Amino acid sequence: MIKDGIINIDKPAGWTSHDVVAKIRGLLRVKKVGHAGTLDPQATGVLPICFGKGTKVVHFLMDAEKEYEAVLRLGEETDTQDATGKVFRSVDVPSGIEERVREAMASFVGTYEQMPPMYSAIKVKGVPLYRSARAGKTVERAARAVTIREMRFKGIEGADVAFSVVCSKGTYVRTLCADIGTKLGVGGHLLQLRRTCADQFHISDSIELGRFCERVAEGTWEEEVYSLNQVLKDLPAVWVKGPYREKILHGAPVGPQAILKRTSFKKGEPLRLLDPEDQLLAIGRAEIDESEIGGSRASFFKIETVLSDVSGPEVGAGVEESVPSSLY
C-alpha cells in the first residue's frame, strides 16, 4: 500500500476542507493527512490532499498561484461577502453595465491591497476573525498585498457576472467580488466559486470525492496518487551515491564526493535529494551556488526534511490527527 503522496480531490459543495481531510483519513486509515489550501464550504474544485510524508511538502504547494471560475452577483452586499451571509444592502443594477464591469475588473489586475474579510480564519491577537464576527464585533486589521495576474470576463446575465481569475496565495475571491461591486457603486458578493487549478493540479485531472470513495472500495485508489517526487519535479535535484544513502536518511551532511550527479541550483534553493534509483530521500537547502562547489569536500547543502522510510510505517488505525493548513 502507498503510504505517502498527494491526491487531487474535486471537493463537493457543502463540505469543509477539514471534512474532506477527515474522510480521506478514515478511508485510508492513515495517521497524517492535510490539505494544500482551504476552500470555503460552498466552493468546489481542486483540493490537493496530502497524506503520510506528503504532509511535509504542503508548504511547497501552498505558495503557488490558484485559478478560479466565479460568479459575482451585483447589487447585493452580504456580511460574509458570499451567498451564505445576510444581505444588508440591496440596490438596483442599471442596464448596460457590462462595459463598466469589464473596466472595473481590469483595474484590479496587478497587485493591490486587499482587506481580509471578518469571516475568515486569520487571527488578530490570537483570535480568529470569524469568531469576532459571529460575536458581532468588527476588528481592526491590516490590508494585505495580493496579486491578480489575470481576470477574464465571461458573461453577464441579469445581475450575475461570470469570470475567471488567476491570483496569488492569500487572495480572497469573495473580497475581490465585494471590491468590484464597491468600485461600481452597486455592491456585490460572491455567488459561486470553483477552483480549477492549484499549482500543477488541474480540475481536468481531479477525482470527485464520491468516485474516490468508490475506488477505495474497488482497491484501485492508488492510481490517483501523485508521488512526492512527481509533485516536486520542478525543484533542482542532487543524486547521492548508494553508499551514502543512509547518511542522508539520518540527516547527516555529505560532501561532493558523495554526489553522483546534480542539476544547476542557486544558494538558498530547495533541493531534491535522490538515490541512484531516483527514489526521493529528502529535501535539502543549498548553502552555496552549484557553480561554487569546485574541489571542496565540505557539504554544500543542509538537509531539512527526510522523506524516505527510516522508521516504522505511517499506516495506522485511523488515529485522530490532522495537519492544519492556513486559510487563504
Which residues are known to be catalytic? 40
Backbone φ and ψ for 94, nearest 5 degrees, come out as: -65, 150
What does the buried/exposed string (b/e) look like for 251-280 if buried means 16 or more CB atoms within 10 Å of the residue's CB? Answer: eeebeeebbeebeebeeeebbbbbbeeeeb
For residue 229 the three cell numbers come to 517526487
Alpha helix segments (H runs only) across the chain: 17-28, 58-62, 98-107, 129-134, 173-184, 209-218, 228-231, 245-249
**DSSP per-residue codes, 217-256:** HHT-GGGGEEPHHHHTTTS-EEEEPGGGHHHHHTT----G
> At residue 14, what is the residue type?
G
CB atoms near residue 191 (< 10 Å): 20
- Residue whose C-alpha cell is 460575536: 135
